[in-house]
A and B are shown apart, each in its own frame.
Chain A
Amino acid sequence: MLALRQWWATAWLSGAGALGESPLFLVDYLLRALRVCVLLALWRVVLGGREAASPMALGSVLTYALLAEVFADQLNVRTTLADAFWQGSIAQHFLRPMALVPQFAAETLGGWLVGLALFSLPLLLAAPLLGVDARPASALALLAFAASLALAICVGIAIDFIASALTVALEQPVWLVQWVRHAVAVILSGAVVPLALLPWGLGELLEWLPFASLAWAPLAIYTGVGDAPRLLALQIFWTLALWPLAGWLWRANREKVVGYGG
């Protein structure tokens, strides 16, 4: 009970911090909304007249693209661990009476709550205005999506801890590792382009990688274009495989953390 209260208090503090100074942070959401409108228009151009050559119908692609934006933060998890390295506040995290993973998970969740309330939900509600049918393929697909999204977050946090541990182990700049991780994940996870639309059968290959568990799996399940049992099984496999690796890498390197910034 105490652990839950600590966890929730940390999440609340993190969310409130994002709202604290000025409503100008809303500009970020406006820019994201504009990006969604443009991306939807671009998909219509890309598939316009070429639907026969596509394994996904235009409607499914639009739903996929919209959902990818609605759950953008959850489909490519970035905890506040790298920021803590960068700002030097990692030392404070080590001193708190709470395990490190729940601390960062709670801080990340707190940041998400604001985005979910102020961007994701309004965008989902505005879907009909954008000409997108945001409904899931079926009620079962919605249930499977919820499970898949939870697994995607688990895999995402594990990958984030692995990347952070590697930053320390390889003594590389925090932002360089974060950039590369983000860039690789965006391409390989299917967050921007559904894997089914990739040429040369690349999608079938990428589906087996852990990155596909981040975005492609939940979105393909939601839109009904993916084999839900197989995708969920792959996500469970990667969760079970990556968490021990993340734990081992982190434990092996956590004492090598050197703060030289702030």
Chain B
Amino acid sequence: MAVEPGRAPLRRLLSLWAIYARMDLLWVARGLRVSVAWYLGDLVVSLSAVTWSFLLAERFDGIGTWSKLQVVFMLGLALAVRGSVEFGFGLNAAFPSRRIGRGQLDHMLLMPQPLWLTIASDGFCPASGSGQLLAGSAVIAWAVHALALPVDATWLALLALHVFSAASIMLAFAYLWGSLAFLAPRAAEEINSSTMRLLEQLKPFPLDGVGFGLTFGLMTVVPAGFLAWLPSRVLLGLEPERSAWLWTPLAALVSVALAAWVFRAGLARYARTGSTRYLSHGFRR
């Protein structure tokens, strides 16, 4: 089961995923009470993030210019995007401020492999992290059927591309803000809880009609619009621009590049200062 350090990065990543997948499966399978509590809890939490948007769409027969079914499709997409992040980046891998703020980055730096490989692998949770992805996929499938959308291989590829891109943007946003913990480990330890909550609360809403300033802000400063709204517009055929299918993937590329640059800058500082969060008897400051 050991992974040799000299292997090609991609093969090594696949080997690490296999190891983490096995450990995750063992964690879920250790008892019925644990697995039921986990999946039930995950389901409640994930549904709560999108329920109020659905309830409003039901109450007012849609939101803005969006019909009820279109809103449901968008909520399914929002769940699938968050689920993808949970699937590949669980165990606080999507909350870097906690790992940095708690001094746990040291554990990752000690691993005999590049840091990016650790980040890309040690949160891989295909068993415990699959709840939201499955729920999102089911909601999307139901909405596609109800809306009678013409689905072919191209559309499915476009869906996968947008889910992947939106999940990348979500992660990039987390690493961008989470890097603040390099400057202030204690004050910014939970900054990713705030940023994730912000995205979670704003993503399940169609932004048509909120005004240029806010739309611009939600596509740049807080990119909630890229997580469900814009991808849904493209996939539902509401976006008149032919090049619109490129916008979310391009935004993902820019976001990831920016986050990587900021994180590396923070890491350079961390190399000089380290972490002082733990007292000698184990508790955090």
Contacts and interface: CB of A to CB of B under 8 A. Distances in A.
B127 interface: no
A197 interface: yes
Contacts of B55: 193, 197-199, 202
B52 A32 contact: no
Given A25-B187, A46-B63, A180-B45, A41 B194 contact: no
B118 interface: no
A202 to B, nearest CB: 8
A262 B184 contact: no
A53 interface: yes
Contacts of B206: 45
Contacts of B72: none
B52 A192 contact: yes
Contact of B44 (A48, A54, A180): A180
Interface in B242-285: 282-284
Given A35-B201, A46-B64, A41 B191 contact: no
B187 A24 contact: yes
Contact of A22 (B58, B187, B209, B284): B187
B125 to A, nearest CB: 14
B208 A193 contact: no
B1 interface: no
Interface string B20-55: 000000000000000001101100110111011001
A27 interface: yes
B45 A41 contact: no
B209 A45 contact: yes
Interface in A153-183: 170, 172, 176-177, 179-180, 183
A38 B59 contact: no
A180 B59 CA distance: 25
B94 to A, nearest CB: 14
B186 A21 contact: yes
B45 A34 contact: no
Nearest to A29: B194
A138 interface: no
Contacts of B221: 34
Q: Looking at B49, B201, B217, B224, which has the most chain A CB atoms within 10 Å of its CB?
A: B201
A28 interface: yes
B210 A53 contact: no
Q: Please report whether the interface of chain A is mostly helix, strand, loop or mixed according to DSSP.
A: helix
Contact of B184 (A24, A31, A89, A187): A24
Contact of A41 (B40, B187, B210, B224): B210
Given A48-B64, A197-B59, A187 B284 contact: no
Contacts of B37: 170, 172, 176
B58 A21 contact: no
B163 interface: no
Interface in A4-23: 20-23
Contact of B194 (A23, A28, A45, A54): A28
B214 A22 contact: no
B6 interface: no
B60 A32 contact: no
Contact of A193 (B45, B56, B185, B283): B56
A37 interface: yes
B202 interface: yes
A27 B64 contact: no
A46 B56 contact: yes
B202 A38 contact: yes
B195 interface: yes
Contact of B210 (A42, A54, A193, A202): A42
A197 to B, nearest CB: 6
Contacts of A46: 56, 60, 63-64
Interface in B65-84: none
23 contacts: A20-B186, A21-B184, A24-B180, A24-B191, A34-B221, A35-B202, A38-B214, A42-B205, A45-B64, A54-B60, A89-B283, A179-B41, A179-B45, A183-B44, A183-B45, A183-B49, A184-B44, A184-B48, A187-B48, A192-B201, A193-B55, A197-B55, A197-B56
* Nearest 7 pairs of A and B residues by beta carbon: A22-B184, A183-B48, A199-B59, A22-B187, A41-B210, A24-B184, A199-B58
Given A32-B194, A45-B210, A89-B283, 9 more contacts: A22-B187, A27-B191, A28-B194, A34-B217, A42-B210, A88-B282, A176-B41, A183-B44, A187-B48
Interface of B: 37-38, 40-41, 44-45, 47-49, 51-52, 55-56, 58-60, 63-64, 177, 180, 183-188, 190-191, 194-195, 198, 201-202, 205-206, 208-211, 214, 217-218, 221-222, 224, 282-284
